[in-house]
Amino acid sequence: MRVSQMLIPTLREVPAEAEVVSHKLLLRAGFIRKSAAGVYTYLPLAWRVLEKIQKIVREEMNREGGQEVLMPIMQPAELWRESGRWDVYGEELIRFKDRHDRNFCLGPTHEEIITDLVRGEVNSYKQMPLLLYQMQNKYRDERRPRFGLLRGREFIMKDLYSFDRDEKGLDISYKKMYRAYSNVFSRCGMQFRVVEADSGAIGGSDTHEFMVLADSGEAEIVYCENDDCSYAANVERAISAVGEDSSNEVPSRLQEVHTPDVGTIEELTSFLDISAEKTIKTIIYSADDEIIAALVRGDREVNEVKLYNELNCLHMELASAEMISRVTGGNMGFSGPVNLDICIIADHEVKNITNAVTGANRTDYHLINVNAGRDFEPDKVADIRMVQAGEACPYCSSPMTGARGIEVGQVFKLGDKYSRALEATFLDERGKEQYIVMGCYGIGISRVLSACVEQNNDEQGIIWPGAIAPYHVVIVPINVKDNDQLNMAERVYNTLSDNGIETVLDDRQERPGVKFKDADLIGYPLRITIGSKALESSELEVKKRSSGDIVMIPEENVCEKVKSMLSY
Ligand code: 9G3
């Protein structure tokens, strides 16, 4: 292709709304343009990358026995009513009516659709395992779409659904997908980590997320530094070793102290000159129609995902200031577990604190020398704290590292959650009716494109890994008015193209510097420059974008040399 005929609208500046590097670069390098908030057009270079990512994904899904289908975006509400999810999701689910006034939604995911398909076609154990997948646009009306393709309202997802006769079969399907995902992200040239994750609203047991490590990632993970251990988890679910009670203090007499305006842990620790580890943070929540108190050590945060799972409630939110005063007798910041007659759920670490300090349930007063078991008895002791980097790995006690990640893939064991709701059953060998056992597995195709840019860029622009680069080589003739240079450029362009090397020829009437800047910004893996020197020596200057290395190669070796430099 000749650049003078291509739509690659590069920019020098980007709109301020672009906060993360991948969003800035994809706009500047002419890969995407916004059509609406969180809704994008993929321009030609982006579409070439997406097609390569999809090709890699297809190969790995097919290798594991996946069969590709294409499901509708337009989903009838009836199926979502059968699964019980029509009323669970709020504004995020884009709903509309057809001309006959029937309710539909734009598919944010396809469990209902695929289970409805399978319940009509699968009725014997002989038909399983069955792995069906698609590459399809998904619609989720994010309140705050941001970061370009990383959190859009319309995005491309590969979603595969596995159907097995029992849990053993599901384990096998799950392992197949786990392996396939590792291959996909490795082949896309990305550094990733697999982390244990929370199965959230869709329930089910096991679930793992594939995280591309990037500081702009919205997910927080912790992982064990001990390579033999390999524990890694999304902080929503991560656990850590519970330390023993280090102090060998004896429990002292409970006392109330006047702490005027001391309403935060920070103020409390400096006012009483104690460490946060000696305090008990008491947070009041309303869970459905009950008020509960969650206790964690003062230097920790409540992990609301873990708390929500422990409470097994539908709706949970922080109690209002008015509710706190009414229930505890003191203002927010002065709550504590002593003489508090609501359900108290305490993190494991709380019972290890001897002579703790906590709110007195009286404004401007705290209690010192509080000891669990003597001064209060939690109704439940559970793991409800947010794990922090540096804490000990729960398996090998090595310190854990914190990182931010972009979730590019997730694998879930669904069990019979949807097959039971939609009565998707089969007859086993004994003719007994059983529920099909399902798994679901997603890869954010358009998100992979952005995540790859987040991990592969520098000041000059994008650095595409060879496997998914929009083109492999850009040829830059220094002076397109010089016929000899242009002829040589065309000759090299044809040689490379005829050998399956995807090449563009930058034949624009632009200064070389502009062409060099664009080549670096767009991120072609290789740039071949042809100027007067090349004509004399018939040697080509080849620059490798990832390392910046420049080598001179004789024109007749250009194909194998380029192939070896691209090897991926
Ligand atoms: C909705 C809306 C948003 C959603 C969902 C449903 C996330 C929803 C979870 C999944 C689970 C897996 C198959 C591929 C892999 C992920 N956001 N999820 O179910 F109605 Cl508005 O999508 N689905």
Answer yes or no: are the C-beta atoms of 402 and 224 closer than 8 Å.
no
Q: Ligand 1: distance of its center to the CA of 344 in Å?
A: 32
> Pick from 470, 407, 409, 443: which is nearest to 42 by CA?
470
Longest dimension (CA), the chain: 95
Nearest CA to ligand 1 atom 23: 109
Residues 34 and 127 in one domain: yes
Q: Ligand 1: distance of its center to the CA of 299 in Å?
A: 34
Nearest CA to ligand 1 atom 21: 93
Residue 227: predicted pLDDT: 83
Of 365, 382, 399, which residue is a domain's last? 382
3-state secondary structure of 534: helix
Residues 179 and 296 in one domain: no
Residues 326 and 443 in one domain: no
Q: Which residues contact 387 (CB under 8 A, 6 or more apart)?
A: 222, 233, 235, 238, 239, 240, 303, 400
Q: Ligand 1: distance of its center to the CA of 418 in Å?
A: 13
Examine residue 216 and state whether it is found in any structural domain, yes or no.
no
Q: Ligand 1: distance of its center to the CA of 202 in Å?
A: 8
Residue 312: predicted pLDDT: 86
Residue 205: predicted pLDDT: 64
* CA-200 nearest atom, ligand 1: 9
Answer yes or no: are the C-beta atoms of 150 and 161 closer than 8 Å.
no
Q: Residue 78 is part of a domain; what is its CATH number?
A: 3.30.930.10
Answer yes or no: are the C-beta atoms of 436 and 131 closer than 8 Å.
no
Q: Which amino acid is at 102?
A: R
Answer yes or no: are the C-beta atoms of 550 and 540 closer than 8 Å.
no
Examine residue 399 and state whether it is found in any structural domain, yes or no.
no
Residues 178 and 54 in one domain: yes
Answer yes or no: are the C-beta atoms of 145 and 152 closer than 8 Å.
yes
Examine residue 198 and state whether it is found in any structural domain, yes or no.
no
Residues 182 and 37 in one domain: yes
* CA-160 nearest atom, ligand 1: 14
Give the domain range for residue 28. Answer: 11-190+417-453
Examine residue 245 and state whether it is found in any structural domain, yes or no.
no
Core vs surface per residue 207-221: b (16+ CB within 10 A) or e: bbbbbbbbebbebbb
Contacts of range 419-425, beta carbons closer than 8 Å, 24 or more positions apart? 419/115, 419/119, 421/82, 421/83, 421/84, 421/115, 422/79, 422/82, 422/83, 422/112, 422/115, 422/116, 422/119, 423/119, 424/115, 424/118, 424/119, 424/122, 425/119, 425/123
Residues 112 and 159 in one domain: yes
Examine residue 212 and state whether it is found in any structural domain, yes or no.
no
Residues 88 and 174 in one domain: yes
Q: Which amino acid is at 450?
A: S
Helix (H), strand (E), coil (C) string for 170-187: HHHHHHHHHHHHHHHHHH
Residues 163 and 16 in one domain: yes
> Pick from 393, 423, 328: which is nearest to 116 by CA?
423
Phi, psi of 151 (to 5 degrees): -140, 80
Q: Ligand 1: distance of its center to the CA of 126 in Å?
A: 29
Residues 58 and 179 in one domain: yes
What DSSP string runs through 249-298? PPP---EEEE-TT--SHHHHHHHHT--GGGBEEEEEEEETTEEEEEEEET
pLDDT along the chain (568 residues), means of 10: 97 89 97 97 98 98 98 98 95 98 98 98 98 98 96 98 98 97 96 88 75 94 91 94 80 96 95 96 96 97 95 93 96 97 96 96 97 96 96 94 96 95 98 97 98 97 97 96 95 97 97 97 98 90 96 94 88
* CA-92 nearest atom, ligand 1: 21
* CA-161 nearest atom, ligand 1: 13
Position of tokens 């009716």? 433
3-state secondary structure of 135: strand
Examine residue 165 and state whether it is found in any structural domain, yes or no.
yes
Q: Ligand 1: distance of its center to the CA of 156 in Å?
A: 13
Residue 203: predicted pLDDT: 55
Give bridge partners of residue 399 from the DSSP assignment.
392
Examine residue 81 and state whether it is found in any structural domain, yes or no.
yes
Q: Ligand 1: distance of its center to the CA of 436 in Å?
A: 20
Answer yes or no: are the C-beta atoms of 530 and 502 closer than 8 Å.
no
Q: Residue 493 is part of a domain; what is its CATH number?
A: 3.40.50.800
Nearest CA to ligand 1 atom 1: 108
Residues 449 and 561 in one domain: no
Number of domains in the chain: 3
Nearest CA to ligand 1 atom 8: 109
Q: Ligand 1: distance of its center to the CA of 108 in Å?
A: 6
Q: Which residues contact 248 (CB under 8 A, 6 or more apart)?
A: none
Nearest CA to ligand 1 atom 22: 109
Distance CA 422, CA 116 (A): 7
Examine residue 398 and state whether it is found in any structural domain, yes or no.
no
Pocket test for ligand 1, best of 95, 106, 109, 158 (most atoms within 8 A of CB): 109
Q: Ligand 1: distance of its center to the CA of 301 in Å?
A: 27
β-strand 380-382 against 343-347: which pairing, if any? parallel
Distance CA 535, CA 488 (A): 8
Of 364, 382, 400, which residue is a domain's last? 382
Six token digits for residue 258: 């006047």
Nearest CA to ligand 1 atom 18: 109
* CA-105 nearest atom, ligand 1: 20
Q: Ligand 1: distance of its center to the CA of 85 in Å?
A: 11
DSSP conformational letter for 151: B
Residues 31 and 170 in one domain: yes
> Pick from 83, 121, 234, 108: which is nearest to 159 by CA?
108
Q: Where are the alpha helices (DSSP H) in 352-502?
A: 417-421, 445-455, 483-498
Residue 14: predicted pLDDT: 85
Core vs surface per residue 174-188: b (16+ CB within 10 A) or e: bebbbebbeebbebb
Q: Ligand 1: distance of its center to the CA of 315 in Å?
A: 18
Answer yes or no: are the C-beta atoms of 26 and 148 closer than 8 Å.
yes
Distance CA 540, CA 475 (A): 10
Nearest CA to ligand 1 atom 9: 202
Sign of CA dihedral 189, 191, 193, 199: negative
* CA-94 nearest atom, ligand 1: 21
Residue 55: predicted pLDDT: 98
Residues 162 and 284 in one domain: no
* Ligand 1 lining (C-beta closer than 6 Å): 89, 92-93, 108-109, 140, 159, 202, 410, 412, 440, 442
Q: Residue 337 is part of a domain; what is its CATH number?
A: 3.90.960.10
* CA-157 nearest atom, ligand 1: 14
Residue 246: predicted pLDDT: 66
